[in-house]
Amino acid sequence: MSFVLILAFLFYIGSLTGWVLELFYRRFFSQHKWVNPGFLSGPYLPIYGMGLMVLFLIASFGDRLEVANTYLKHGILFLSMAVCMTLIEFVAGWICLNYFRVRLWDYSNNFANYKGLICPTYSFFWTVLGALYYFLIHPHILSALDWLSRNLAFSFFIGFFYGVFVLDFVHSTKLVIAIKKFARQKQIVMHYEEIKERIGQYKESRLIKAGFIFRLWMDGPITRFLKDTYESTKDRISDLTGDIKEEVKSGIEKTFRKTEK
């Protein structure tokens, strides 16, 4: 089977599975509400797709690693997985933060974090995830790839996934570019998930009428939405004092954060 098809299949599985993991993690452990995680509108997270490809390649290489001590061999494997996953997380977060002025996640309150993009806590989680992948998932991935090699007709569904994925990517990129223009004007950094949540509320109020991923938003409606949101959140703290003012202000800063000079 083609190596490209293998990677395409892994990206497909990883993106979908990662989205489900993040969805339930944020609902029950992190934000305690249903949040559509990530950059895109649909149910997939590309960072997990990339991660699964990396885990598969490291695990496949590790099977041929000639280290006599089993514990040392596994330690090298899992540490390599954690480093690679942390690096992917940092690069993706850094590009979005510095180029698009959008923060996809924020570890600023975590111990020893770096720019709120990576931290030891989540690097540890990546290590655990790497171990779980190697012992529990990797054998099933190999079986799935063997099945795919004997049922190549299934590649049609992979192709359909990528068709929808590209449309979603175009849609979300237009949104992020509009956010970037607005954020550069105001010299702020915007929290993308908060913006997506507010967009949903904005749609419900019929100030923006748009479909799912097939509606490519124009700069005009997006910019008006961002301006209205920014101005309204500033106005909300003008008549407040004391603890209430600080509480509202901290909530606003989740969405709009001044760029550090």
- Residue type present at position 220: G
What the block records as the tokens of 146 is 């063997």
Q: What is the pLDDT of residue 226?
A: 67
Decide: helix, strand or coil at residue 88: helix
Element (H or E) spanning 256, and its range? strand 256-258
Q: What is the pLDDT of residue 154?
A: 87
Residue reference for tokens 């600023």: 108
The full DSSP string for 96-145 is HHHTS-EES---TTSTT-BTTTB-HHHHHHHHHHHHHIIIIIHHHHHHHH
**pLDDT tens sequence for the chain (261 residues):** 788 999 999 999 999 999 999 899 888 988 888 888 887 888 889 999 999 999 999 999 887 888 888 899 999 999 999 999 999 999 999 998 888 888 888 899 899 999 999 999 999 999 999 999 999 999 999 999 999 989 888 888 899 999 999 998 888 888 778 877 877 777 777 777 777 666 666 554 544 444 443 344 444 566 666 666 666 655 544 444 444 445 444 554 555 555 544
The Cα 187–Cα 193 span in angstroms is 19
Decide: helix, strand or coil at residue 152: helix
Of residues 138, 28, 13, 15, the one with CA closest to residue 74: 138
The Cα 60–Cα 53 span in angstroms is 11
Looking at the DSSP bridge assignments, the partners of residue 32 are none
Q: What is the pLDDT of residue 27?
A: 87
Taking each helix axis from N to C end, the angle separating 192-204 and 242-255, rounded to the nearest 10 degrees, works out to 100
Q: What is the pLDDT of residue 231?
A: 67
Looking at the DSSP bridge assignments, the partners of residue 188 are 258
The Cα 205–Cα 70 span in angstroms is 59
